[in-house]
Amino acid sequence: MAMGLLEMGLNYLRRIPFERVLFPPRDNAKALQEFLGTFKASETEIPAPRAKKATISPQQPQGVAQGGSTAVLTREGVDAKRMAWQDGIIRGELWLLEGHLKNNCLGCGGDVECCWKHTQNTLDSVRETQSMTTEPLYREAAAVAERVLPFVHPEDVKAGKFVDRYPALTLEVSQIRTQFDKRVMGYARKPITMEEAKKLAAEEAAKEVERQWTSQEKK
């Protein structure tokens, strides 16, 4: 009898989930929050490796002066008259070179050195002017002269070696020459005074009043 009760008691105890009594289940949401908190704490303790930043070397654009300024700089002591003189010399050499290229660098009384001479003169004058100002136009003019020079050597002109190249070179010279035409014309234009401007404005106003008056009378 006692043995039977003991066995029944043991069987009863075996059915009790002691792990649930001693270690009750935690709330799932709370458990997840605690897990994430542990994960974040581990991130702060072990910093992730920092990615290397790409190194970009800034390139200075053409025609920009040192310091990032796009303003045209002029050497101290160089005035408008000096620049007008330089531009006139360059324009004249380009004009002569353009004319000779149109004639295959011939037609100079038998001389075959004209194209080379005017190209070199242009290049020399432009380089001299480049020491006075950062104006991009002079760099462009130098580039044109440097492209022409290899094709106008007197020996090559005499042999007619680069005749097929002259039309395209003529166009390049003409395009840059027209830029210097504008500069020279700008120097030649007489600046207007305040008094002259007032006089012109008064004359134009009088003409407009007369025109309006006449149109009213015709109605």
For 105-114, the pLDDT digits (tens) are 987 777 899 9
Residue 120's pLDDT is what?
97
CA 172 – CA 181 distance, rounded (Å):
14
Residue 102's pLDDT is what?
94
Residue 140's pLDDT is what?
96
* Residues of the chain with confidence (pLDDT) below 70: 1-70, 190-193, 196-197, 200, 204, 208, 211, 215-219
Distance of CA 208 to the CA centre of its chain: 46
Do 173 and 144 contact (CB within 8 A), yes or no? yes
For 190-214, the pLDDT digits (tens) are 666 677 667 767 776 777 677 677 7
Residue 30's pLDDT is what?
58
Hey, where are the domains in the chain? 80-186
Do 136 and 129 contact (CB within 8 A), yes or no? no
Confidence (pTM): 0.56
